[in-house]
A and B are shown apart, each in its own frame.
Chain A
Amino acid sequence: MDDSTKLAFGTKIKTMLGNELIVARWLAEGGQGDIYIIKYNEQFMALKWYKPKGLGKDPQAFYDNLKNNAKHGAPSEEFLWPLDVTEWMNGSFGYVMELRPPGYSELSDFMLTEVRFPSFRKITDAALHIVSAYRILHNQGYSYQDLNDGNFFINPNTGKVLICDNDNVAPNGMETGIAGKPRYMAPEIVLGKNMPNSLSDRFSMSVILFILFCLNHPLEGKKSLVPCLSPELQEKLYGSEATFIMDPSNRENGPHPEIHKNTTVVWPYLPDYMQDLFLTAFSQKALHNPNARPSELEWLKKLVRFRSEIVPCECGNEIFTENGKNCNCERCREKMQVPYRIRFRDYAIPGIADSRIYRCQLGICNTDEALKPVGHVIAKKSDKRALGLKNLSNQVWSVELASGKTRKVAPQEIMPLRDGMSVHLYNEVIKIEANE
């Protein structure tokens, strides 16, 4: 390969923030450029250095947009965001970002099952981080534009996510010239009707979410097993005739029993509200009308609920508890004791040790607070069977007891869980119900 665009060890480059970086070593090559490890402000960081030909039709506009993004700062900690942009050198430039910390794998490694999540709860955590990050990005007026499976680094053991390739992020509505990656582009982009925006991001994000859970592309069922994916067929399968693999009204693209086994295995385990959300996201209406796609907040609410309802049995098995009821573990045959149900307006989650109440489960909230735990169920140190709910919010809760008495629970205080309690917080009421 041609080495003329490579940076030599020790090369010094000035940045827009008035710093100087020193190239330490070459790390990897991508389509648009190379990644280097650099010394920046006495720290080791990563530098993405573009190939001059990787800068698109309008390199100056690309550069200016990148500078604006760096000045704006990362929308949330999930983004491996451009922190500083270099000055031009030899017809190109680059940007500085954090190095990927250890323990994170590319989404493609999960798709190839080189890496696996230890549990569905961790998959849900990863999904929550992804949705939350895009919610914040979109609510700040940006679109990501080139959302695909290559953008994510995920830690399978924590579910934490890092989103890379943020160089096409631009104010929503601004065209950066990128259309996207085949199979991840929204139908309207495939069909050339529009350029990427935050609504097409929503489609691509739903594709990623379905892949996370089902290890299958949502539009790839029997109909997609074409002998040869010609450009015309590609346009049909991912554009004009796109059909969800689980679409109940059109089974033409349903799962092949062998090839799409992952989907047939996982789908029945997804609770109704998760199935419904995927069915909405990939309904004919949402495929062809970008405005009909579920919002990030809708995803967050359902995912948070799903996460709460997956509880680990002592034997290591994961159990899906519906509406916080008791259930049996099929592996160890033991009854899974769920002492309480924590009931929200339209559903309940299990009240067991480590259950959490998130801010987005309680009425309207600020974008950056959605995934903040406001309540955490904890067991008493001296008696593990005695459960309490810790107030992690910054509000004083008002708790109505079964007797009719009212008590106040200050931030960081713990209230015991008892049948018949009603907790008033954020203009909502949650009820504590004992299971039989």
Chain B
Amino acid sequence: MNMPTTDILGGTPRRALNIFYVLDTSGSMDGIPVATLNRAMEETIEILKEQAKTNADALLKIAVLEFNSDCRWLQAAGPEEAEDFMWQEVKAGGLTEMGAALTELNSKLSRNAFLSSMTGAYLPIIIFMSDGYATSDYKPALDKIRKNKWFARAIKIGFAMSDDADIKMLAEVVGNSEAVVKTNDWELFARLIQFSSVTASMLASTSRTCTEPVTGADIIKEAIDSGEATEDILIDEHVEYDPEPEVEIDSGDWEEEDWD
């Protein structure tokens, strides 16, 4: 019998790992903040690209939703493979319609929208950044998205930039105040968004000391432990929000439809 030649084999199948960035580009971001945001994202994506090249554990994909008076996906067709991803400059202007952003995100966190993957997927990672207060009531949108399984189970991190940021809103959105970084230092933001993105994207590739799942709060703690930031970035009051107050989770045997 003839052995097959090794060149007929394709790469080892990889699950998709989606990273979502939900970024506030309202008027208050004008000037240094939006300029730093553009550079920070550009550099973060460069590093993610490099890592994606050698990542045999996950197929890294990136999607960016910017919101101000309205919201807009930088990649209209859905998350793009990190290796092909190119950062597009964002500009500041308009209001802070967090509710609209959550509604838009909710509509895309579905297998019928942005989360279709033949090879399956890891828990998504969602990183939020805002520097202000929502212009209108975001609570109804938040209540809705909390019922989205993808959102509920995602690894979520929030950045509350500037002293004017609504820390409580971000904590509510990510579900745990310990997964929120508060700072008005944009250089620190640049370092931390890079650290969080890289750490989260490497979760499937990192050896662990325990088998407990990793949360957004763990990643922030790791940033502090490894000297990337000091404890000042943490919010004093610790609040955890039940991600799905009315829906029982954690059963581990969800139906296929649950993921649509």
Contacts and interface: CB of A to CB of B under 8 A. Distances in A.
Contact of A179 (B13, B204, B208, B250): B208
B122 A228 contact: yes
B2 A260 contact: no
B77 interface: no
Contact of B153 (A5, A118, A230): A230
B201 to A, nearest CB: 13
B31 interface: no
B206 A31 contact: yes
B123 A230 contact: yes
Interface stretch (A128-136, A181-189, A362-370, A392-400): A181-189
A269 B3 contact: yes
Contacts, number: 165
A259 B211 CA distance: 28
B9 A2 contact: no
A328 to B, nearest CB: 9
Given A53-B225, A318-B3, A327-B1, A228 B10 contact: no
A327 B3 CA distance: 12
B211 A185 contact: yes
Nearest to B206: A31
Contacts of B206: 31, 181
Given A51-B226, A236-B252, A108 B1 contact: no
Contact of B9 (A113, A232, A310): A113
B56 A108 contact: yes
A177 interface: yes
B2 A318 contact: yes
Interface in B82-132: 111, 115, 117-124
A211 interface: yes
A4 interface: yes
B3 A232 contact: no
A228 B204 CA distance: 13
Residue among A211, A259, A327 with most chain B CB within 10 A: A259
A262 B10 contact: yes
Contact of A111 (B6, B56, B226): B56
B252 A233 contact: yes
A150 B56 CA distance: 10
Interface of B: 1-13, 15, 54-57, 111, 115, 117-124, 149-150, 153, 191, 194-195, 202-211, 213, 225-228, 250-254, 256, 259
27 contacts: A1-B194, A53-B227, A107-B56, A108-B56, A113-B11, A116-B6, A146-B207, A177-B209, A179-B209, A182-B203, A216-B12, A217-B12, A217-B13, A220-B13, A225-B120, A226-B120, A227-B115, A228-B115, A228-B122, A229-B121, A230-B123, A235-B211, A261-B10, A265-B8, A265-B9, A269-B1, A317-B3
Interface of A: 1-2, 4-5, 31, 51, 53, 56-57, 106-109, 111-113, 116-120, 123, 146, 148-150, 177-183, 185, 189-192, 211, 215-217, 220, 224-233, 235-236, 258-262, 265-266, 269, 310, 317-320, 322, 327, 329-331
